[in-house]
Structure 1
Amino acid sequence: MPVRPIRLKLIASLLAVLPLYSLASEWSYSGNNAPDHWAMLDTSGSFATCAKGTAQSPIDIPRASTTHINAASASLNINYQRSPLNLVNNGHSIQANVAGDSNLQFQGKTYKLLQFHFHSPSEHLFNGKRFPMEMHWVNQAPDGSLLVVAAMIESGKNNAQLEHIWSKMLPQKKGTHVAISQAQAPDLSMILPSASKHFFYKGSLTTPPCTEGVQWVLFEQPLQLSADQIGAFQHIFADNHRPAAAINQREIDED
């Protein structure tokens, strides 16, 4: 049965203001509520895909076996900008809900940027290499489909675009919200790695309910944050990554 347009609009509205991964039971990254137990935490079965899914994320990208395609990068057009943010510590990450019209186009479909957030250490690996952090930009099309842009983060230069958030506004306690004006917000177009190749694959959300059918676009070139900036995030979230899942013969493309 097709999903009614009204319902799609309601879902989009909810996703714009709520973390994509905090819509059900309590879960965490350690102890009895760690990733290995996510599927058992919701008695309704809505987390079952976390254990039974065959196209889960994150994964370890095996660079040697990726398929090289020229069309993927040509079909990717990212139009991110400086927009007001609602920064929140949701208990699982620092997430910035994005206002405004930041969007991207991929393979003829337009996706609106809903939010970005961070993981430490990185969730994806490149040839077995894990990075200190990873940044995700979560985007949604009018039909409800999701596309997540990801960039690994390595220790290096101070990230000037994120410095204002990092130095004054990182919410330390769960449930804390901080409103950031457009003037104070980072220019998201300046954060994206320049002249980077990409990996493309179909996967899932990396947090419950682990929904599959998510298009992933990973920048090969990492971002840089200073050691102090990385340490400031890790002081709040020492470990909020999901271990890598099996690839299960999925195609991974590289432009």
Structure 2
Amino acid sequence: MIKRIKIAAALSGLLMSQAVMAAAPETSHWSYTGDTGPAYWADIDDDFSMCGLGRNQSPVDIDGAIDAELPPLQLDYATTGTRVFNNGHTVQVASPEGNTLTLDGDLFILQQMHFHAPSEHTVDGRRFPLEAHLVHSDKDGNLAVVTVLFEEGEENAALRSLADSLPDTAGERADVTDTVNFTQMLPAQHDYYRLNGSLTTPPCSEGVRWVIMQSTQDISSDQVESFSAAIGDANNRPLQPLNARVPLK
């Protein structure tokens, strides 16, 4: 019985994580530019209505965060990634079993990590050249995303092999020249901002728990260019209003 529950949870998580960045069906094509860009997402498909009607949409500018003495992050990333996929909207690394986040007493399993260039979230109005989303799903398919912001500086050793392996064609997969260590994607200091939001791509579903690391990671200009070239058009959704939300820290 326990084994069946675990299998069902894994499948549910996989399906939900794919929804974060997977392209919509051919009849509901969306993009980041032109008449299929973010301003039109809500009109492309009835299933995308939350992109226009939602009140807790992401991304946002993290401004005026309240000190809430958030508990330490409970992360256990025991395995590494070896494959990268270009899905036409981003490049993403699948996570093997064994990587978890415990949040609000709930266990979330890491499904994949993908990137936005430039960043989607901003902090006090400041935008960054790259943002990583580590997407987790619990047994019911609820999502929690750990976000890492990168600023230009020294070469990032943890990203070196991935940046050298990125497929630049939609639908293409590649083996990473060295494994991707998900723990090393995170800054040494695990202080974070916390708020509820949505998927940043259609269908823009709400109820996503966002954990945004306060400290940034360095990345070289060459590495930024590698990610930008593989992704193609800038894949950051415009900032959304906070409305009644207040970020916590």
Superposition RMSD in Å: 2.0
| Superposition pairs of residues 37-76 of structure 1, within 5 angstroms | 37-42=40-45, 45-62=46-63, 65-70=64-69, 72-74=70-72, 76=73
- Residue of structure 1 equivalent to 2:13: 12
* Local SS of the residue matching 1:73: coil
| Selected match of 1:155 from 152, 156, 175 | 152
Contact 1:83 1:98 in 2 (8 A): yes
* Local SS of the residue matching 2:240: coil
Alpha-carbon shift at residue 187 of structure 1 (Å) = 1.6
| Superposition pairs of residues 8-157 of structure 1, within 5 angstroms | 10-15=11-16, 20-24=21-25, 25-42=28-45, 45-62=46-63, 65-70=64-69, 72-74=70-72, 76-157=73-154
Alpha-carbon shift at residue 12 of structure 1 (Å) = 2.7
Gaps of at least 5 residues in structure 2 are none
- Residue of structure 2 equivalent to 1:187: 181
CA distance in 2 between counterparts of 1:118 and 1:12 reads 19
**What amino acid is aligned across from residue 248 of structure 1 in structure 2?**
N
Contact 1:86 1:179 in 2 (8 A): yes
Alpha-carbon shift at residue 10 of structure 1 (Å) = 4.4
Q: Deviations for 1:80-114, whole angstroms, at most 9, x for unmatched residues? A: 23424331110000111111211111121110000
Q: Confirm or deny that 1:218 pairs with 2:217.
A: no
CA distance in 2 between counterparts of 1:26 and 1:221 reads 35
CA distance in 2 between counterparts of 1:118 and 1:18 reads 15
Alpha-carbon shift at residue 180 of structure 1 (Å) = 4.2
Alpha-carbon shift at residue 53 of structure 1 (Å) = 0.3
- Residue of structure 2 equivalent to 1:239: 234
Contact 2:81 2:180 in 1 (8 A): no
Gaps of at least 5 residues in structure 1 are none
* Local SS of the residue matching 2:48: coil
Percent identity over paired residues: 34
- Residue of structure 2 equivalent to 1:176: 172
Alpha-carbon shift at residue 251 of structure 1 (Å) = 2.5
* Local SS of the residue matching 2:236: coil
CA distance in 1 between counterparts of 2:18 and 2:175 reads 13
Contact 1:204 1:214 in 2 (8 A): yes
Contact 2:84 2:176 in 1 (8 A): yes
Q: How many residues align?
A: 241
Contact 1:155 1:226 in 2 (8 A): yes
**What amino acid is aligned across from residue 192 of structure 2 in structure 1?**
H
Contact 2:78 2:99 in 1 (8 A): yes
Alpha-carbon shift at residue 195 of structure 1 (Å) = 1.5
Indicate how the Cα distance of structure 1 residues 243 and 17 shifts in structure 2: closer, same or farther if over 3 A, else same. closer
Alpha-carbon shift at residue 18 of structure 1 (Å) = 6.8
Indicate how the Cα distance of structure 1 residues 171 and 234 shifts in structure 2: closer, same or farther if over 3 A, else same. same
With structure 1 as the length reference, what TM-score do the two structures score?
0.88
Q: Deviations for 1:124-178, whole angstroms, at most 9, x for unmatched residues? A: 01111111111110000012110001011111111111111212x1001000012
